[in-house]
């Protein structure tokens, strides 16, 4: 039996572009529908680090860190606003293998570094997963302006206040995981992205438009075990 996981998400950048909903729909499994804000679907790249990752109930000293980078969009199914992951790159080999086997997530092994210096995050990821398309991402990002609660901002709430994510397992089945956490605190942010081949590795052209950036110092999360998604309309 796979236990729920406790973890902390820290030093997150949400790098977000509006895209054509029809384009996004062509990249999604059929049961999922692109969720839209101001008439657009959204594509996001999110670098951060996991801390204190452990089965629920175990002490923090039994945890492992897991720097991570994901490419995601926003979907609905049966009226539930959710996240869909195209890829997740992570540093730890054992964690990547475990996430693929037990949580059916499209994780890829990567060499990742994250450091916090003079109020800025320096993040670098280079995918090393055997047989996978290469993907390289390097960025420096930092918060600007005043913090705000995501539910108070329409776009911020749309992008981050979601408590279910979907993935497509290797056998083609649709699976979901529910998560619980406090509401997000966000900051306006600035980023200098030196290299990004993630979007192309996941079948997208990197949008030409300027992204919308948000930063969060993070929060603590409980993720439930992965479940097989029921057929449309089933409870």
Residue 26 confidence (pLDDT) above 70:
yes
CATH number of residue 40's parent domain: 2.40.400.10
Kind plus residue range of the DSSP H or E element containing 120:
strand 120-127
Residues 90/66, Cβ–Cβ less than 8 Å: yes
Q: What is the pTM of this model?
A: 0.91
Number of domains in the chain: 1
User: φ, ψ for residue 73 (rounded to 5)?
Assistant: -140, -175
Residue 25 maps to a domain: yes
Give the model's pLDDT for residue 139: 97
Q: For residues 91 and 69, what is the distance between their CA atoms, to the nearest angstrom?
A: 9
Residue 207 maps to a domain: yes
Residue 77 confidence (pLDDT) above 50:
yes
Lowest-confidence segment of 178-182, 194-198, 224-228 by average pLDDT: 224-228
Residue 235 maps to a domain: no
Give the model's pLDDT for residue 97: 45
Residue 59 maps to a domain: yes
Pure H helices in 26-164:
93-103, 154-160
Residues 191/139, Cβ–Cβ less than 8 Å: yes
Residue 49 maps to a domain: yes
pLDDT tens digits for 88-128? 898 865 454 455 555 567 788 899 999 999 999 999 999 99
Residue 173 maps to a domain: yes
Residue 85 confidence (pLDDT) above 60:
yes
pLDDT tens digits for 142-192? 999 999 999 999 999 999 999 999 988 878 889 899 999 999 999 999 999
* Tokens found for residue 29: 């499994």
β-pair partners for 158: none
pLDDT tens digits for 31-73? 999 999 999 999 999 999 988 776 776 656 555 668 899 999 9
**What is the extent of the structural domain holding 197?**
5-228
Residue 62 maps to a domain: yes
Residue whose tokens read 């790159």: 89
User: φ, ψ for residue 103 (rounded to 5)?
Assistant: -115, 0
Residue 233 maps to a domain: no
């Amino acid at each position: 039996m796979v236990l729920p996981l406790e973890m902390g998400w820290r030093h997150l950048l949400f790098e977000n572009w509006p895209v054509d909903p029809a384009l996004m729909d062509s990249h999604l499994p059929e049961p999922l529908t692109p969720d839209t804000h101001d008439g657009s679907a959204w594509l996001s790249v999110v670098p951060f680090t996991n801390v204190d990752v452990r089965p629920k109930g175990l002490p923090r000293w039994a945890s492992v860190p897991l720097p991570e980078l994901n490419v995601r969009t926003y979907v609905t199914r049966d009226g539930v606003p959710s996240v869909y992951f195209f890829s997740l790159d992570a540093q730890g080999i054992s964690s990547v293998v475990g996430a693929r086997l037990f949580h059916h997530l499209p994780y890829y092994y990567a060499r990742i570094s994250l450091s916090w210096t003079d109020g800025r995050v320096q993040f670098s990821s280079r995918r090393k997963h055997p047989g996978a398309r290469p993907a390289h991402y390097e960025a420096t990002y930092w918060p600007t302006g005043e913090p705000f609660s995501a539910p108070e901002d329409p776009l911020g709430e749309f992008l981050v206040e979601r408590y279910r994510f979907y993935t497509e397992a290797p056998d083609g089945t649709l699976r979901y995981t529910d998560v619980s956490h406090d509401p997000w605190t966000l900051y306006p942010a600035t980023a200098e992205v030196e290299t990004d081949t993630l979007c192309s590795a996941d079948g997208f052209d990197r949008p030409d438009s300027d992204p919308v950036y948000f930063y969060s110092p993070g929060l603590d999360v409980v993720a439930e075990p992965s479940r097989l998604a029921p057929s449309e309309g089933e409870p």
